[in-house]
Amino acid sequence: MSPRSPARPSARPSSATSSATPSSAATPPARSTGTWLVITIIGFIFSLFTVIPMMTAMSEAIEAAQNGDPSMTPVYPASFYVMSGIASLYGLAVLLPNLSSLVRRLHDTGKSGFWFFIGWLPIIGPIWLLVLLASESRPDLYRPEWN
Protein backbone atom coordinates (compact mmCIF):
# COMPACT_ATOMS: atom_id res chain seq x y z
CA MET A 1 0.00 0.00 0.00
CA SER A 2 1.12 3.45 -0.77
CA PRO A 3 1.22 6.04 1.94
CA ARG A 4 -1.60 8.55 1.86
CA SER A 5 -1.00 12.25 1.69
CA PRO A 6 -2.39 14.35 4.51
CA ALA A 7 -5.92 15.64 4.03
CA ARG A 8 -6.09 18.97 2.31
CA PRO A 9 -8.75 21.53 3.15
CA SER A 10 -11.64 21.46 0.73
CA ALA A 11 -12.19 24.41 -1.58
CA ARG A 12 -15.95 24.01 -1.20
CA PRO A 13 -17.56 24.99 2.06
CA SER A 14 -19.26 22.27 4.00
CA SER A 15 -23.04 21.99 4.07
CA ALA A 16 -23.16 23.42 7.59
CA THR A 17 -21.50 26.67 6.55
CA SER A 18 -23.30 26.99 3.24
CA SER A 19 -26.71 27.00 4.91
CA ALA A 20 -25.67 29.88 7.16
CA THR A 21 -24.64 32.11 4.26
CA PRO A 22 -27.39 33.80 2.28
CA SER A 23 -27.98 32.34 -1.13
CA SER A 24 -28.37 34.35 -4.29
CA ALA A 25 -31.98 33.11 -4.60
CA ALA A 26 -32.89 34.84 -1.33
CA THR A 27 -32.00 38.30 -2.56
CA PRO A 28 -34.61 39.99 -4.70
CA PRO A 29 -33.62 40.72 -8.28
CA ALA A 30 -32.82 44.28 -9.28
CA ARG A 31 -35.60 46.25 -10.95
CA SER A 32 -35.51 45.76 -14.67
CA THR A 33 -34.50 48.62 -16.87
CA GLY A 34 -36.98 47.38 -19.44
CA THR A 35 -39.83 48.89 -17.42
CA TRP A 36 -39.57 52.20 -19.25
CA LEU A 37 -39.61 50.40 -22.56
CA VAL A 38 -42.85 48.66 -21.61
CA ILE A 39 -44.40 51.95 -20.46
CA THR A 40 -43.37 53.59 -23.74
CA ILE A 41 -44.87 50.76 -25.78
CA ILE A 42 -48.14 50.91 -23.81
CA GLY A 43 -48.28 54.68 -24.34
CA PHE A 44 -47.66 54.24 -28.05
CA ILE A 45 -50.44 51.65 -28.32
CA PHE A 46 -52.80 53.88 -26.35
CA SER A 47 -52.10 56.83 -28.64
CA LEU A 48 -52.40 54.61 -31.70
CA PHE A 49 -55.92 53.48 -30.77
CA THR A 50 -57.31 56.61 -29.10
CA VAL A 51 -55.56 59.90 -29.78
CA ILE A 52 -54.90 59.39 -33.49
CA PRO A 53 -58.49 58.28 -34.36
CA MET A 54 -59.88 61.13 -32.27
CA MET A 55 -57.72 63.70 -34.06
CA THR A 56 -58.65 62.22 -37.45
CA ALA A 57 -62.39 62.34 -36.70
CA MET A 58 -62.15 65.89 -35.37
CA SER A 59 -60.21 67.09 -38.42
CA GLU A 60 -62.86 65.54 -40.70
CA ALA A 61 -65.60 67.33 -38.75
CA ILE A 62 -63.73 70.65 -38.94
CA GLU A 63 -63.17 70.19 -42.67
CA ALA A 64 -66.87 69.43 -43.19
CA ALA A 65 -67.83 72.54 -41.20
CA GLN A 66 -65.51 74.68 -43.32
CA ASN A 67 -67.13 73.26 -46.48
CA GLY A 68 -70.60 74.29 -45.34
CA ASP A 69 -71.90 71.20 -43.47
CA PRO A 70 -71.93 72.27 -39.79
CA SER A 71 -74.24 69.42 -38.75
CA MET A 72 -71.65 66.68 -39.26
CA THR A 73 -70.56 65.04 -36.03
CA PRO A 74 -67.24 63.24 -35.70
CA VAL A 75 -67.40 59.46 -36.11
CA TYR A 76 -64.92 57.59 -33.95
CA PRO A 77 -63.76 54.04 -34.71
CA ALA A 78 -64.58 51.20 -32.34
CA SER A 79 -60.97 51.04 -31.13
CA PHE A 80 -61.40 54.51 -29.64
CA TYR A 81 -64.30 53.34 -27.48
CA VAL A 82 -62.57 50.11 -26.46
CA MET A 83 -59.34 51.82 -25.41
CA SER A 84 -61.24 54.62 -23.68
CA GLY A 85 -63.16 52.01 -21.71
CA ILE A 86 -59.97 50.21 -20.74
CA ALA A 87 -58.38 53.50 -19.66
CA SER A 88 -61.48 54.34 -17.60
CA LEU A 89 -61.43 50.97 -15.84
CA TYR A 90 -57.73 51.39 -15.09
CA GLY A 91 -58.39 54.86 -13.69
CA LEU A 92 -61.08 53.49 -11.39
CA ALA A 93 -58.83 50.62 -10.30
CA VAL A 94 -55.98 52.91 -9.18
CA LEU A 95 -58.15 55.66 -7.68
CA LEU A 96 -58.27 54.38 -4.10
CA PRO A 97 -54.63 53.25 -3.87
CA ASN A 98 -53.50 56.64 -5.18
CA LEU A 99 -55.78 58.47 -2.77
CA SER A 100 -54.51 56.39 0.15
CA SER A 101 -50.88 57.10 -0.82
CA LEU A 102 -51.64 60.80 -1.02
CA VAL A 103 -53.29 60.85 2.42
CA ARG A 104 -50.42 58.84 3.91
CA ARG A 105 -47.90 61.30 2.47
CA LEU A 106 -49.90 64.23 3.86
CA HIS A 107 -49.87 62.53 7.27
CA ASP A 108 -46.08 62.15 6.94
CA THR A 109 -45.78 65.91 6.48
CA GLY A 110 -47.90 66.55 9.57
CA LYS A 111 -51.08 67.54 7.70
CA SER A 112 -54.55 66.06 7.78
CA GLY A 113 -55.78 64.04 4.83
CA PHE A 114 -58.40 66.70 4.16
CA TRP A 115 -55.62 68.88 2.70
CA PHE A 116 -56.23 66.79 -0.42
CA PHE A 117 -59.14 69.10 -1.22
CA ILE A 118 -56.77 72.07 -1.57
CA GLY A 119 -55.90 70.62 -4.97
CA TRP A 120 -59.40 71.46 -6.20
CA LEU A 121 -58.71 75.20 -6.09
CA PRO A 122 -58.20 76.56 -9.58
CA ILE A 123 -54.60 77.27 -10.67
CA ILE A 124 -52.94 77.59 -7.24
CA GLY A 125 -54.46 74.46 -5.65
CA PRO A 126 -52.45 71.76 -7.47
CA ILE A 127 -49.26 73.79 -7.01
CA TRP A 128 -49.94 74.15 -3.28
CA LEU A 129 -50.66 70.43 -2.96
CA LEU A 130 -47.44 69.58 -4.81
CA VAL A 131 -45.47 71.80 -2.40
CA LEU A 132 -47.14 70.06 0.56
CA LEU A 133 -46.32 66.62 -0.83
CA ALA A 134 -42.70 67.59 -1.51
CA SER A 135 -42.13 69.09 1.93
CA GLU A 136 -40.05 67.47 4.66
CA SER A 137 -41.55 64.54 6.59
CA ARG A 138 -42.70 65.44 10.08
CA PRO A 139 -44.98 62.63 11.30
CA ASP A 140 -44.76 63.83 14.91
CA LEU A 141 -46.97 66.82 14.00
CA TYR A 142 -49.96 64.75 12.88
CA ARG A 143 -51.87 63.67 15.95
CA PRO A 144 -55.52 62.87 15.24
CA GLU A 145 -57.94 63.17 18.15
CA TRP A 146 -58.80 59.47 18.26
CA ASN A 147 -55.21 58.35 18.98
- For the chain, list residues with pLDDT below 50: 17-19
The DSSP secondary-structure symbol of 49 reads: I
pLDDT value of position 4: 59
Alpha carbons 129 and 126: distance in angstroms, whole number:
5
What does the pLDDT look like over 11-25, one tens digit per residue? 555 555 444 555 555
What does the pLDDT look like over 58-84, one tens digit per residue? 888 888 888 887 777 777 788 788 888
Alpha carbons 58 and 55: distance in angstroms, whole number:
5
- Count CB neighbours of 125 within 10 A: 13
> Residues near 57 by Cβ (< 8 Å), separated by ≥ 6?
74, 75, 76, 77, 80
pLDDT value of position 18: 47
17 CA to centre of own chain = 42
Closest-CA residue to 61 (of 52, 72, 50): 72
pLDDT value of position 72: 74
The answer, as to whether pTM is greater than 0.75, is no
Q: How far is CA 141 from CA 37, 122, 126, 138, 146, in A?
A: 41, 28, 23, 6, 15
Provide the terminal-to-terminal Cα distance of the chain, rounded to the nearest Å: 83
